[in-house]
Amino acid sequence: MATQRSPSTSETFWAAVAAAVEKIPVIGPAIRVGLLTDRKRTLRVLAVAAFVLVIYPICLPLIAAILINRGVLFSLHEPYAATIRTAIRVKEATDTELDNSGLYKRLDYYQVIDIKSNGEDAQQLIYPVEAWQRVTFQVQEVHLSSSNGACELPMSLQAKGTDLVELGLGDQSIQFIKISNESNTDEHLLTASVWKQIIDSGAEQGKLRVSFKPVPELKTIATACHRGDLELTVKVTVKVFKDLVPHAAGPSAAQLS
Amino acid sequence: MTRRALLWLAACCLSGLCIAEEIDIDRSAKIPVSGGTVAATIFKMDATRVRVAVWPGFRVAALAGIMSKAISVQEAVNKLVLLKISANEILLVNGGFSTSEPDHPSGLLVSGGKVLSIPSYAKVLGNPASSCPVLQTERYRLSGLLCVRRDGTLTVGAFDENTWNACYEALQVEPVLVGPKGSVAVCPSGEGEDKYYRTAVCTSKEVGPNMQLKVVVTNDPISLFELATWMTKRVSAGGLGCEDAINFSGDTSTGAAYQPPPITGSLLHRPISDSFGAGTYPLASFLVIEGRK
């Protein structure tokens, strides 16, 4: 009796399910027919469809996130994370330093350059800047120290206002400003004449090379000391604005446009 | 019998074994602040009876035998650095600030007449609209200076770009806590209200004919304004009676280590050095205070 009643219960159940799915728009009637005629195949198709359309899309990013966090996918996410961190820093900086002045409306981007040098080697950075774009540099901090008692810093580098670094611009490293040990809050604007020099020197389009070169006297002292005994730290903020510096249109402008 | 005892005493003193403590330590000082007290250790000494020197972190690290050029107070204690500096009474205090690299000091550091870090001439613009007088005028970012001249004369106070080069030992720090004539030199809001562990150094002539040097190492966080306010109060009013005071590096940098003088008649049973404050952050500079023999 029990073996005869069981299939009939099952049939009743699947008939109820078929009646319920029939109400699903578009695909409901087809599923109903499938459940009543070839149930196994229909359930298999439904399972595959549920996996492809629901489970797989949810699991894929979860698995990827777990693998990235565990370092299995190397550090592919780090450039992205660094970009996000930089973006947050830029936002904070613009919020705190430019909000009151109202300049942030024209600001393209803002960056803090933290240069560490052994006093011998020049360093170069490249910024995405279009020709004639308004750019300002502001020296925030300058530190020079020795980590060797035998490598004393001479009086000539200690006096207030002594130049320590030359900030050059463009592919030919045209001297823009000299950074002294007396950092101040003055902003240095790339004027039209400086831009003209950079463009005339054959600078690459859309890129502005910024170089930091220790002055000859510092280089001499650093060379005399053991390499790494001197540390020069220069913190400079760069503001790149969306507008251009006023300039007369001429051959220089045409060269890059 | 008395003569024999005196002879023993003279022999001990001549051999360097009998040295009186020059540094007085108050290990359970309480700084009154709003809503309670802050625990601190205060080291007091006659400035004419101690030798004050500024040591770069790499020099302390070399004595400790570690590869790094910066070392924390705690690590210096663990590596028995104090005993390696001197067998006599000695106080090692965390120094000033560093750049983003802990082994490179920020601002002036002169050690034994050698300039190892140039002065920071960076200034902060004044805000005439500020309600706090200190913030109204332009000032150096690293506004304080500890200076010891070649003759041992010690001064604590504001950094002066025209006079620092007379210092044989010097450390530029920030900010000045107590200004000229014993006035509070920090504001109650902004930088002055942040609470951290603190190290401060002050000079005072309130007690005795000679200048007193006092070093405060807090065991609880305290704001600069609360610390400065307490330091300016007269000793009789429960303060420190400071006429000039400057703030050293704080938070986890805050730390000091003390090695007492050898016990009379025995070098073998000398007490081990004692440490105070957190002192876990590697430092670019230290203040080394030795009792004069």
Question: What digits encode the pLDDT tens for the residues B113-140?
Answer: 999 999 999 888 888 999 888 889 989 9
Partner-chain residue, chosen from A143, A153, A160, that has the shortest CB–CB distance to B106: A143
ipTM: 0.80
Pairwise CA distance, residues A157 & B290, whole Å: 31
* pLDDT at residue A140, rounded to an integer: 85
Q: Residue A192 is encoded by which pair of tokens? A: 């039209």
Give the residue-averaged pLDDT of B193-207. 90
How does pLDDT run across A85-94, given as a tens digit for each residue?
Answer: 766 666 555 5
Q: What's the CA gap between A118 and A151, in Å, rounded?
A: 13
Contact A120, A223 (CB under 8 A): yes
Q: Which residues of B touch A142 (CB under 8 A)?
A: 120, 122
Give every residue of chain A whose pLDDT is below 70, as ranges. Answer: 1-7, 71, 73-79, 86-105, 183-185, 249-257
Question: Which chain B residues are within 8 Å of A146, Cβ to Cβ?
Answer: 116-117
- pLDDT band of residue B16 (cuts 50, 70, 90) is very low
Strands A163-169 and A174-180: antiparallel
Enumerate residues 213 to 242 of chain B having a beta carbon within 8 A of any beta carbon in chain A.
none
CB B156 within 8 A of CB B246: yes
pLDDT the model gives residue B102: 85
Residues 6+ apart with CB under 8 A from B18: B9, B12, B264, B265
B59, B104, B172, best to mutate vs chain A, most A CBs in 10 Å: B104
Please report which confidence band the pLDDT of residue B262 belongs to, taking 50, 70 and 90 as the band edges: confident
**Is A152's CB within 8 Å of B115's CB?**
yes
**Helix (H), strand (E), coil (C) string for chain B:** CHHHHHHHHHHHHHCCCCCCCCCEEEEEEEEEECCEEEEEEEEEEEHHHEEEEEEEHHHHHHHHCCCCCCECHHHHHHCCHHHHHCCCCEEEEECCCECCCCCCECCCEEECCEEEECCCCCEECCCCCCCCHHHHCCEECCCEEEEEECCCCEEEEECCCCCHHHEEEEEEECCEEECHHHCECCCCCHHHHCEECCEEEEEECCCCCCCEEEEEEECCCEEHHHHHHHHHCCHHHCCCCCCEEEECCCHHHCCEEEECCCECCECCCCCCCEEECCCCCCECEEEEEEECC
- pLDDT higher than threshold 50 for residue B280: yes
pLDDT on residue A256: 38
Alpha-carbon separation of residue B286 from A1, B105, B150 (angstroms)? 95, 10, 18
**Looking at the 3D structure of chain B, how many domains does it have?**
1
pLDDT of B175 strictly over 60 = yes
* Contact residues on chain A for B114, CB-CB shorter than 8 A: 149, 152
pLDDT at B169: 98
Contact B59 A149 (CB under 8 A): yes
Closest to A160 (Cβ–Cβ): which among B69, B116, B121?
Answer: B121
Please give the mean pLDDT across all residues of chain A. 81
pLDDT over 70 (residue B171): yes
3-class SS of residue A178: strand
User: Which pTM does this prediction carry?
Assistant: 0.74
Mean pLDDT of B203-225: 90
User: Cβ contacts (< 8 Å) between B161 and chain A: which residues?
Assistant: 160
Cβ–Cβ gap B161/A147 under 8 Å: no
pLDDT in tens, A175-234: 888 888 886 667 899 999 999 999 998 888 888 999 999 999 999 999 988 888 888 999
Q: What percent of chain B has pLDDT over 90?
A: 69
What is the pLDDT, as a whole number, of residue A1? 45
The pLDDT value recorded for residue B27 is: 94
> Whose CA is closest to B145, among B117, B187, B125?
B117
Domain of B48, in residue numbers: 3-291
Chain B residue numbers with beta carbons less than 8 Å from the beta carbon of A149 are 56, 58-59, 111-112, 114, 116
| Of A77 and B11, the one with more pLDDT | A77
- Which of B59, B105, B122 comes nearest A145 by C-beta? B105
pLDDT at A250: 53
Note the pLDDT of residue A249. 60
> Chain A residues contacting B, CB < 8 Å?
114, 116, 140-149, 152-153, 155, 157-158, 160-161, 181-185, 231, 233
